[in-house]
Amino acid sequence: MKKTTDFRYNTGATKVPWAAVGENYNAADLMEIIRFLMQGSGEAYDNAIAAVWEQVKKLSDISTPPGKLSLASKVEEAETACNEYLGTTTSTFVTNATSGFEIAYKYANLKEGDEVIVPAITFVATMAYPLSVGAKLVFADVDPKTINMDPADVAKKITPKTKMIVPVHIGGYPVDLDPIMELAKKHDILVLEDAAHAFGAMYKGKKIGTIGDFAAFSMHEVKNITSFGEGGIATTNIPGFGDHMKRARFLGMDFSAPIKDWLYNITPIPGKEKPFVALNYSTTEIQGLGLTLQIARNEEIIAERRRAAEYLTNRFKANDAIIPQDLGNDEIKPTFHLYLLQIDPAKAGGDIQVLKKKLEEKGVTQIAHFGPLYRFQVVADMGYDQDAIAKTCPVCEEVFYKRFTHLPLYGLSDEQLQYMADAVLESVAEMQAGK
Ligand SMILES: *Cc1c(COP(=O)(O)O)cnc(C)c1O
């Protein structure tokens, strides 16, 4: 029996409903979904699939399909799980982190003439919205130890036009937020945490993503946990904005006070300077379910990544030309999304490009996440002078081209981890021997 809340138009008890879901998934569809999520081949697989199909067919006669596929109880459950995990009340499950950022940028009324400080090294998603509205991106240089935004350089680059600072917790290693929050408070600037890599990271006793005015986590497939490939959690510390963020996710719909003869109202979202119009970043029930399941395992996942990072860091202590990933301490707890491997070119007898080539030859996958943002063509074509920017980010230039790359951490066997550590140590030894 459908519940009244399963109807698109919830009119209470009714004889003739108007279902929310047009066409549901049938048993044959479901079977294809199982096949997709659990892929395989060979006789054993075919037999198991055939057996599952027999049961799924039976199940379809006695089960009820979901009455809602978008923005309902599963999305709410995922948000509740996030709230409990993060210690906030404002988690809003959106299509991806990029749309979470967009809500924050719109709250700030970011437009041409405004400045936003972003780190020189991050994923393009951090800067996409400012670039798209013609706001001026100011690239902060990075801290050579973490490759995160350097608060001291941020301080130098603040102007009266600076509206936002966007610290990015690269690889899940927390940015030093205290000085950034202090600067922001002093100059009345909003802080948006790009916490795409950092779900579960801690900074001085607080969860990352609960410190800035806004934050967004990514649940894209490549991150530590996912909601079937895409998803993001947005949070806010702006008093009273949590409920508005929910409306900002779905076209500004307000069911609490409908207009005359209609079911809801559409109200603008209050912003810092002026209200703004909401777009649509709604997520699905199946994504909600997927996210809740993974949140429950997040601490285990971080622990496993941490174990791998500890192993690598301990191995790399054998050669002082290698600067291993910092493992954190009581105050700084990373999520170990990426393993930051750095070398000292003077001691290694060559720079990271040489090491990268050697690792590639040994079959070790390593990719520096990410390059200098200002090197993309879109930045040049929007009128920025790339070389002039590079001069304001000397540490970024040095670390990206000469010193760092990232190693994989998750889903590797002990043998693979050992092989990778051996390969790094051997390669650096070869470089030191001039080979
Ligand atoms: C993945 C990523 C994003 C964007 O996340 P989406 O959920 O794909 O929008 C933003 N910033 C960084 C640093 C990322 O790695």
Distance 148 CA to ligand 1 centre (A): 15
What one-letter code names the amino acid at 318? Answer: A
Cα dihedral 165/168/174/177 (nearest 10): 0
Residue 283 Cβ inside 6 Å of ligand 1? The answer reads no
* pTM score: 0.96
Q: Closest ligand 1 atom, CA of 197?
A: 15
Contact (CB, 8 A) for 142 and 92: no
Q: Closest ligand 1 atom, CA of 369?
A: 15
Residue 216 Cβ inside 6 Å of ligand 1? The answer reads no
What is the structure's pLDDT at 1? Answer: 46
Contact (CB, 8 A) for 276 and 252: no
Distance 151 CA to ligand 1 centre (A): 21
Q: Closest ligand 1 atom, CA of 99?
A: 9
What is the structure's pLDDT at 11? Answer: 62
Residue 122 Cβ inside 6 Å of ligand 1? The answer reads yes
Across 188-212, b (16+ Cβ under 10 Å) vs e yields: ebbbbbbbbbbbbbbbeeebbbbbb
Whole-number Å distance between alpha carbons of 276 and 273: 9
Residue 427 Cβ inside 6 Å of ligand 1? The answer reads no
Residue in the structure block whose two tokens are 């036009």: 161
Residue 171 Cβ inside 6 Å of ligand 1? The answer reads no
Q: What is the pLDDT along the chain (435 residues), one digit of tens a residue?
A: 455 556 667 666 777 878 888 899 999 999 999 999 999 999 999 999 999 999 999 999 999 889 899 999 999 999 999 999 999 999 999 999 999 999 999 999 999 999 999 999 999 999 999 999 999 999 999 999 999 999 999 999 999 999 999 999 999 999 999 999 999 999 999 999 999 999 999 999 999 999 999 999 999 999 999 999 999 999 999 999 999 999 999 999 998 889 999 889 999 999 999 999 999 999 999 999 999 999 999 999 999 999 999 999 999 999 999 999 999 999 999 999 999 999 999 999 999 999 999 999 999 999 999 999 999 999 999 999 999 999 999 999 999 999 999 999 999 999 999 999 999 999 999 999 998
Q: Where are the beta strands (DSSP E) in 141-223?
A: 162-165, 190-194, 202-203, 206-207, 214-218
What one-letter code names the amino acid at 427? Answer: S
Contact (CB, 8 A) for 286 and 69: yes
Angle between helices 352-361 and 414-432 (to 10 degrees): 130
Whole-number Å distance between alpha carbons of 389 and 376: 12
Whole-number Å distance between alpha carbons of 185 and 108: 15
pLDDT tens-place string over residues 316-329: 999 999 999 999 99
Distance 427 CA to ligand 1 centre (A): 32
Residue 248 Cβ inside 6 Å of ligand 1? The answer reads no
